[in-house]
Amino acid sequence: MFDELKSILSRVDADYADVRYELMFETRVVFSGRELTGVTSNRSDGYVLRVLKRGGLATVSFTRPEDAARAAKAASENASLVAQRTKSPVSFARAVPEAARFRPPLGEDPRSVSLDEKLSLARRYNDIAMQTPKIATTQIAYSETTRQKHFASTEGAAVSEDLVTTKIAGSITSQDGALTQTVAQTTGGSQGFAKVRNREADWEARTKTAVDLLKAEPVTAGTYPVVLNPWLAGVFTHEAFGHFSEADIIEDNPSMRQRMNLGAKLGSDLVSIVDDPTRPGQLGFYGYDDEGVRVRPVQLMKNGVLSGRLHSRRTAAAFGEPLTGHCVAEDYRYAPIIRMGCIFIEPAMESRDSLLARLGSGLYVADAMGGQTMGENFTFGAQYAYRVKDGRLAGMVRDVNVSGNLYNTLRSIRAVGNDLELQEAGGCGKGQINIRSCYGAPHILVEDVVIGGR
């Protein structure tokens, strides 16, 4: 494969060029309620060629090897046109060109498991919900994506890597008269098929939550001290903070760039945040990004002080900061963009029960269900919450959303738990879809959070 990629690069007239070839396999099994509504398997492949010439950067995607010469010519011409018209010539930070073959370990390769077995397992988890009284319907799917990537550059890089993602995920909806409640569940990750086996207890627990919500009272809107569970705290870390750690998000926003200046004190002394895709066994684990750069852990915040950010080769040069290996594409159709890999709040010393005791009275808010951000402000849905009285869970409430300002919330974190969890649910829709973007947190105690009903 690399001989072919080098041949493509040899046709390019440019200061720098790279080409990525991907072979992608996708399998999907979908249940809607009791009905099996889809079983699909797809194979596709393609190339992405990037050309940097006199400060102009251009990208061309193509699927047929015989189109390589035409693609090389078009990319070079497009880069020249960009160079003539840009006020900000592009340069790339220096990267060490590596020759590497990276294969993340799999507990059980899903490609060796029959489609019948995948269908049977998805059906089993779906049946747990559908055989439970007051469950109205489900939307549950088994999905498996394999990206076999090969990257080469005119600097001499030659990197290949397999990314295998396996999950069973979906929603469970309960109903009592006109009242319906929906919860989400995801089982899986990047460790292989073994991760989705023997997870009946998780689906049983999530089904019970859906039914229990029918008896819960709507939350009373107001401002509360809260304990956020790891899923919801992880979503806050990813959505409200993490995107502002991606250099391309802030580079053309002067006020945000000034506020996110390295060394700025943004949060409580208790808050330290890392993005580390090198942690084995988590959803976002990988070795090299789609610019051929080896990924590394990045300390984004240390004791409330902004200490790092995520970069591509272009933004690392523009900011004068180190490369991080966080430039990732959805697949062979796209040039890479800056993405989080595995972002989380670092754990501290306190247990969940200790946090609840410190909370005294307030809310314990659990599990994310959608949401949005607008600048530094955010609103996230929660799947459920509990009232907390005298440090103990007192009763479930429903129809909960959590709103706030990023910086106020970071400063209002009063305690951090010792129970870091990285979510099997993940993904990010910034510009492209990244199904492997991972996030997590321990439980955290936050003062003065605005809570409203949906």
Per the prediction, the chain carries an average pLDDT of: 97
User: What is the model's pLDDT at position 157?
Assistant: 98
Pairing of strands 413-416, 327-328: unpaired
Measure the CA–CA gap between 10 and 51, rounded to whole angstroms. Answer: 12
- Alpha-carbon torsion 292, 302, 377, 259, what sign? negative
- pLDDT for residue 454: 57
Beta partners for residue 146, in sequence order: 25, 164
Of the candidates 72, 83, 23, the residue with the CA atom closest to the CA atom of residue 50 = 72
Give the model's pLDDT for residue 416: 98
Question: Nearest to residue 293, comparing CAs of 278, 281, 272?
Answer: 278
| pLDDT at 112 (0 to 100) | 95
What pLDDT shows up at residue 172?
98
Q: Is it the case that residue 299 has pLDDT exceeding 60?
A: yes
Q: How many CB atoms lie within 10 A of CB 214?
A: 15
Q: Which amino acid is at 135?
A: I
Over residues 31-53, the pLDDT tens digits come to: 999 999 999 999 999 999 999 99
Tokens of 113: 């498991």
Enumerate the β-bridge partners of residue 343.
Answer: 275, 439
188 φψ region: left (φ > 0), alpha (ψ -120 to 50), beta (else)? left
220-236 pLDDT, tens digit per residue, is: 999 999 999 999 999 99
Rounded-to-integer distance, Cα 431 and Cα 436, Å: 15
Average pLDDT over residues 127-153: 98
Residues 227-251 have a mean pLDDT of 97
Name 57's bridge partners.
Answer: 52
Q: Are 426 and 283 in contact (CB under 8 A)?
A: yes
Dmax (CA) of the chain: 72
For residue range 43-92, list pLDDT tens digits in order: 999 999 999 999 999 999 999 999 999 999 999 999 999 999 999 999 99
Residue-wise burial string across 2-13, b where 16 or more C-beta atoms lie within 10 A, e elsewhere? eeebeebbebbe
Q: Which domains are seen in the chain, by residue range?
A: 2-215 (3.30.2290.10), 218-453 (no CATH)
Q: How far apart are CA 373 and CA 350, in angstroms?
A: 29
Q: In whole angstroms, what is the distance from residue 116 CA to residue 238 CA?
A: 36
What's the 3-state SS for the chain?
Answer: CHHHHHHHHHCCCCCEEEEEEEEEEEEEEEEECCEEEEEEEEEEEEEEEEEEECCEEEEEEECCHHHHHHHHHHHHHHHHHHHHHCCCCCCCCCCCCCEEEECCCCCECHHHCCHHHHHHHHHHHHHHHHCCCCEEEEEEEEEEEEEEEEEEECCCCEEEEEEEEEEEEEEEEEEECCEEEEEEEEEEECCEHHHHCCCHHHHHHHHHHHHHHHHCEECCCEEEEEEECHHHHHHHHHHHHHHHHEHHHHCCCHHHHHHCCCCCECCCCCCCEEECCCCCCCCCCCCECCCCCECCCEEEEECCEECCCECCHHHHHHHCCCCCCCEECCCCCCCCEECCCEEEECCCCECHHHHHHHHCCEEEEEEEEEEEEECCEEEEEEEEEEEEECCEEEEEEECEEEEEEHHHHHHCEEEEECCCEECCCCCECCCCCECCCEEEECCEEEEEEEEEEC
Residue 160 has a pLDDT of 98
Q: Decide: 18 and 292 in contact? Cβ < 8 Å.
A: yes
Higher pLDDT residue, 425 or 36? 36
Q: Look at residue 207 and tell me whether its pLDDT is greater than 70.
A: yes
User: The tokens of 307 are what?
Assistant: 């200490």
Return the closest-CA partner of residue 17 out of 60, 70, 67.
60
> What's the pLDDT band for 293 if we cut at 50, 70, 90?
very high
Q: Quote the CA–CA distance of 275 and 234 in Å, as a whole number.
A: 12
Q: Indicate the residue type of 131.
A: Q
Residues ≥6 apart with Cβ < 8 Å to 99: 156, 157, 158, 159
Please say if the pLDDT value at position 320 is more than 90: yes
More confident residue, 411 or 454: 411
- Report pLDDT for 426: 84
Strands 273-275 and 298-302: antiparallel
What is the structure's pLDDT at 425? 81
368-399 pLDDT, tens digit per residue, is: 998 889 999 999 999 999 999 999 999 999 99
Mean pLDDT of 138-166: 98
d(CA 353, CA 124): 34
- pLDDT score of 370: 84
